[in-house]
Amino acid sequence: MVKMNFYDDLVMQTQMNYSRHYPIYASGSTPYQLTDKKPLPYSEQIHRLVQEVKEADCVVVGGASGLSAAGGGDFYYEDNDSYRKYFRPFAEKYHFKGAFAGMMHPWKTREEYWGYLATFLHTTQTAPVRHSYLDLDDLLKGKDFFILTTNQDTQFVKLYPEEKVAEIQGNQFSRLALGSMMIRLVCLHVQTASGLLFFFWRWSKECNG
């Protein structure tokens, strides 16, 4: 049996915890009581954040899903306008309640499975840096900082060098990285359901016939 190091064990426990409490996290809540203190008024929270960053010698940023959701990446857990914009064929055929729901779906064909993963990857790859990340970047200007994030949408590494970012749960590229060979195989299948791979034929430069 391979003994896991501290980092591997931390990631494994985080993933198991996420799976165990998925419905609660998906609703925007948490299974834990984080504090018994009453929150400061929002404007005061913002003022304190700016002041703390200004006075700090260095900053470690903990970035989670709310940062992406605030910038428009809110299609992971609900069937909303953003989700329909990118995943409409799947929403209409399978009635998924958000993008992550499709990751757990027992697909009947590999074509549909890879069509969904390709849609997910394309959506991530082509998304611009969201305004919430640009706001954070303004706040960090001139500071020595490091990013620690559970986000898998590559927003941080689009904005900063990889050595400034630790994606402790990987990203959607690493999760789908079985290589261009697998992607090329998807392109060779012509029996796709409902034209779900149409965009992918245009997007993948490696598909030539």
Contact 98, 83 (CB under 8 A): yes
Strand order in the sheet with 165-167: 58-63, 144-149, 165-167
CA distances to 116, 182, 184, 200 from 178, in Å: 15, 6, 11, 16
Q: What is the pLDDT of residue 104?
A: 78
Q: What is the pLDDT of residue 185?
A: 37
Tokens for 47? 């003022």
Rounded Cα distance between 83 and 64, Å, is: 19
Rounded (5°) CA angle 117-118-124: 90
Within the chain, residue ranges assigned H as helices are 6-20, 22-26, 42-55, 65-70, 81-94, 99-103, 110-126, 131-140, 155-159, 172-176, 180-188, 198-203
Quote the pTM value: 0.68
Q: What is the pLDDT of residue 151?
A: 83
The total of other beta-carbon atoms located within 10 Å of residue 69's CB is 18
Q: What is the pLDDT of residue 134?
A: 94
**Torsion sign (Cα): 199, 200, 204, 208:** negative
**Amino acid making up residue 1:** M
Q: What is the pLDDT of residue 1?
A: 61
Tens-level pLDDT at each residue, the chain (209 residues) = 667 788 778 777 877 887 788 788 777 778 888 788 888 898 998 899 899 988 999 999 988 888 888 888 888 888 889 889 888 988 899 998 888 888 878 888 888 888 888 888 888 888 899 999 999 999 999 999 999 888 888 899 899 998 999 887 776 655 554 433 344 333 333 333 333 333 333 333 333 33
